């Protein structure tokens, strides 16, 4: 199943964007890590995507960095039991918590993308 999912993700990316798959995968990984358990994402999808990205000359470490960008969204995942305790103790609705948190998650992801590009976490060459 993870192979089929990775294949469908790469099918959406045109050949000309192959060298830019790391940031594209990072943006796709954000919602994926939210709705999948961490083990399923990192042992299933991330491993397959690393092999696929290797075909475009992207190293396994760059693929791993791209996988980690989605962690900004991890804390609104419905598969984390501690969040239910948090919203219960603060007397907040879980959906309201997600709505408030997602406002901050997207800017955090953009900061991750910029920092990884500036520090060499991946070799991002913008397509022109």
C-alpha radius of gyration, the chain, whole number: 16
Q: Cβ neighbours of residue 39 under 8 Å, at least 6 residues apart?
A: none
Whether 124 is in a domain gets the answer: no
Model pLDDT, residue 127: 46
pLDDT for res 16:
83
Q: Supply the range of the domain harboring residue 94.
A: 2-11+18-119
pLDDT in tens, 18-69: 778 888 888 888 888 888 888 888 888 888 888 788 878 888 888 888 888 8
125 in a domain, yes or no? no
DSSP 33-70: HHHS-HHIIIIIIHHHHHHHHHTTT--HHHHHHHHHGG
Please give the model's pTM, rounded to 2 decimal places: 0.74
Would residue 127 count as lying in a domain? Answer: no
Q: Look at residue 126 and tell me if it is in a domain.
A: no
Tell me, yes or no, whether 7 lies in a domain: yes
**Which pLDDT value is given to residue 125?**
53
């Amino acid at each position: 199943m993870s192979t089929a999912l990775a294949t469908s993700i790469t099918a959406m990316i045109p050949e000309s964007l192959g060298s830019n798959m790391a940031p594209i995968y990072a943006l796709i990984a954000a919602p994926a890590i939210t709705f999948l358990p961490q083990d399923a994402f990192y042992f299933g999808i991330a491993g397959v995507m690393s092999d696929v990205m290797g075909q475009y000359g992207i190293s396994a470490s760059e693929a791993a960095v791209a996988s980690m960008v989605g962690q900004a969204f991890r804390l609104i995942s419905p598969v984390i039991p501690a969040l239910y305790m948090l919203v219960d103790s603060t007397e907040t609705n879980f959906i309201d918590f997600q709505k408030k948190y997602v406002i901050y998650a997207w800017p955090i992801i953009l900061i991750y993308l910029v920092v990884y590009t500036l520090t060499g976490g991946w070799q991002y060459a913008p397509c022109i």
